[in-house]
Amino acid sequence: MINIISWISVIGVGVGTMALIIVLSAFNGLENLVEHLYASFDPDIKITIKKGKTFNASTFPKEKILQIPEVAFYSETLEEIALVKYEDKQTVATVKGVENSFYEMSGLDTLLIEGNQKELTQVDNYIVLGYGIADQLALFLSNGFAKKVSVIVPKKGHQKGLMPDSEFNRKWAVPSGIFSVSPDFDTKYVLTSLPFAQQLTQHNEQVSAIELGLTKEANWDVIKTQIESVVGTEYEVKTRYELNELVFKTNKTEKWITFLILSFILVIASFNIIGSLTMLIIDKKKDVWILKTMGTTHSTIRKLFFIEGMLINLVGAFSGMLIGAFVCWLQIRFGLLRLEGGIVEFYPMALELTDFINVAGVVLVIGLIASWYPVRVLTKRHL
C-alpha cells in the first residue's frame, strides 16, 4: 500500500509539472503569434511629434538617424481617417500613406492574399485594403481588376461652402491588393503611397510618423535612447512593445497568474508526499531500530527518509517535464489541436528554457518543504 501511495505521489507531481510546461508553452506560442502579427504592421521604433498631428519631413534629421548602424529601414508615413466608397458600398477606414520600403520592413508583401508587390509601384494612387475593409465593400480582385475606389477626407480649415462636396477632398484610387494580418488591422487600414496620401489630405511634405526597422541583433532600448538624443524633446520615440504595451503586458500577466495557480495545485499534490513519508516512517520502526543498534545515527536516518521524499518529487518532476515537452513537440510538429476559423491553423506553442528552469525551481522548493516537514517532525514523534 505504501508503494502504491508513493507512485500516486509521483504521478501527482508529474501531472502538475506536465500541466505547467504545457500551459506556459501555450502562452509562449500566443505571445510569439501576437508579436509576429504586430511586427507585420507596426515598426520596431516609431517617431511622432508631441504637439500636433503632422510635421515637416524635410526638417527632420533623417541623415543622422540613418547613420545609426542598427537602423536597417526608414519609412515616412501619413495616416488620416477617410471614407472609402466602392460602387454603392462605403466604410470608414484609416488611410495610411507609406513608402515602398514599408512593405519590405514589415514583411506585409508576403501577407497579400490578392495582388502583388510589383503592381504597387506602378501608380501613385494605388490602395491595398485590409481583408475586413474589402469584405465590407464587397471588393475582390480574384475575378479581374476592380473598378476605381473613391477616397474622401474633410478639407483643412473650417470654411463652409454652399455645396456639401466642397468641404471634402475626393480622390480616385486603384485597388491593387488585399492583405490579411489580423482583424485588428484588416478592418481598420487601407494602405496607399505617401504622395497620394499627402495630396489627399493636403499635407504637402508633411508626415505623421517616421517608422524604423532595426537589425535582429539590435538592442531596442539602447537604439531608442540614441534616437531620442538625435531628435530632441519635441519628438516622441516608442518601441513596438510600448506602442502595444497593454497587449503584451496582459499576455505576460495572464501567463504568470496561471503559473501561480498551477503551482498551488502542485502544493496540493505534495500532500501525497507527506502522506506516503508518514506511513513509511511508521511502517519502518523495526527497521530503524535495527539500524540504530548497528550504530546508525539519528541524522542519517532522517537523511534516508528525506532522500526518499526528494526521489518521489524529482522522479515526478523529471517525468512530467519530459512528457510535457513531448506533448508540446507533437503540437508544434503535427498541430494536433486545430483552431477552426482562427488566424492560424493550429494552436501555437513554443518551448523556452527559462520555463523549464522556473518550473524545476518551484517543484524543488515544494518538494524540499514537503520532504523536510514529515522527516523533521514525525521522526521525533515516532522514532
Q: Are residues 199 and 84 in the same domain?
A: yes
Q: What DSSP character marks residue 160?
A: -
Domain that includes residue 74, residue range: 43-243
Question: How many domains in the chain?
Answer: 2
Q: Would you say 288 and 299 are in contact if contact means Cβ atoms under 8 Å apart?
A: no
Residue 89 identity: K
What is the predicted pLDDT for the residue at 278?
83
Q: Which of 212, 228, 243 is the last residue of a domain?
A: 243
Angle at 315 between CA 309 and CA 317, to 5 degrees: 100
pLDDT recorded at residue 161: 57
Rg (CA), the chain: 31
Same domain, 281 and 359: yes
Answer with the one of 193, 214, 243 that is the final residue of a domain.
Answer: 243
More confident residue, 353 or 33: 353
Strands (E), 155-225: 168-179, 189-193, 206-207, 209-214
- Percent of the residues in the chain that have a pLDDT greater than 90, as a whole number: 50
Q: Does one domain contain both 130 and 178? A: yes
Instruction: Answer whether residue 340 shows pLDDT above 70.
Output: yes
Helix (H, G, I), strand (E, B) or coil at 211: strand
Residue-averaged pLDDT of the chain:
88
Residues 235, 7: Cα–Cα separation, whole Å: 63
CB atoms under 10 Å from CB of 368, counted, come to 15
Q: Which pLDDT score, from 0 to 100, does residue 182 have?
A: 85
Region 275-285: mean pLDDT is 84
Q: pLDDT at position 146, please? A: 60
Separation CA 367–CA 359 (nearest Å): 12
- Using CB atoms within 10 A of its CB, is residue 74 exposed (0-12), middle (13-18) or buried (19+)? middle
Q: Which residue type does 271 have?
A: F
Residue 227's contacts (CB-CB under 8 Å, 6 or more residues apart) are 45, 47, 65, 68, 212, 237
Q: Is pLDDT at 118 greater than 70 in this prediction?
A: no
123 and 221 part of one domain: yes
pTM here? 0.78
Q: Are residues 96 and 20 in the same domain?
A: no
Among residues 100, 94, 48, 90, which one has the least CA distance to residue 200? 94
Q: Is the dihedral of CA 270, 271, 274, 278 positive or negative?
A: negative
Which range (46-60, 147-161, 303-317) has the least confidence? 147-161
The verdict on 206 and 305 lying in the same domain is no
Q: Are 176 and 48 in the same domain?
A: yes
pLDDT tens-digit readout, 36-80: 888 778 899 999 999 989 999 989 999 999 999 999 999 999 999
**Whole-number pLDDT of residue 330:** 96
Alpha-carbon gap, residue 110 to 87, rounded angstroms: 29
Instruction: Kindly give, in sequence order, each residue whose CB lies less than 8 Å from that of residue 15, ignoring residues fewer than 6 positions away.
Output: 269, 320
Nearest to 98 by CA among 203, 185, 210: 210
Q: What confidence score (pLDDT) does residue 316 get?
A: 93
Over range 106-132, report the average pLDDT. Answer: 79
Q: Which of 243, 271, 294 is the last residue of a domain?
A: 243
Residue 342 zone, left/alpha/beta (φ > 0; ψ -120 to 50; rest): beta
**pLDDT at 382 > cutoff 80:** no
Hey, what's the cell of 98? Answer: 507609406
Task: Report helix, strand or coil for 316.
Answer: helix
pLDDT at 156: 73
- Here the cell at position 345 is 491553423
pLDDT band at 210 (very low <50, low <70, confident <90, very high): very high
Residues 27 and 113 in one domain: no
- Grid coordinates in use for 164? 456639401
The least confident of 255-259, 288-292, 319-323 is 288-292
Percent of the chain with pLDDT over 70: 93
Q: What is the pLDDT of residue 34?
A: 84
Cα–Cα dist 107/88, whole Å: 33
85 pLDDT exceeds 90?
Answer: yes
d(CA 27, CA 254): 8
In order of 24, 25, 42, 320, 355, the CA distances from 251 in angstroms are 11, 13, 18, 25, 15
Asked whether residue 144 falls in the same domain as residue 179, the answer is: yes
Is residue 248 within 8 A of residue 31, CB to CB? The reply is yes
Task: Work out the angle at residue 127's Cα, subtended by the Cα atoms of residues 48 and 77, and round it to the nearest 5 degrees.
Answer: 10
Answer yes or no: do 91 and 169 share one domain: yes
Q: Give whichever of 89-93, 161-165, 300-304, 372-376 has the largest mean pLDDT.
A: 89-93
For 314-330, the pLDDT digits (tens) are 999 999 999 999 999 99
Give the range among 14-28, 183-197, 281-295 with minimum mean pLDDT: 281-295
Determine the pLDDT at residue 270. Answer: 83
Confidence of residue 357 (pLDDT cuts 50, 70, 90): very high
- Ranking 5-9, 150-154, 171-175 by mean pLDDT, the lowest is 5-9
- Average pLDDT estimate for 249-277: 87
Q: Are residues 191 and 74 in the same domain?
A: yes
Whether residue 364 is found in the same domain as residue 299: yes
Rounded to 10 degrees, the C-alpha dihedral 48/54/59/65 comes to 20
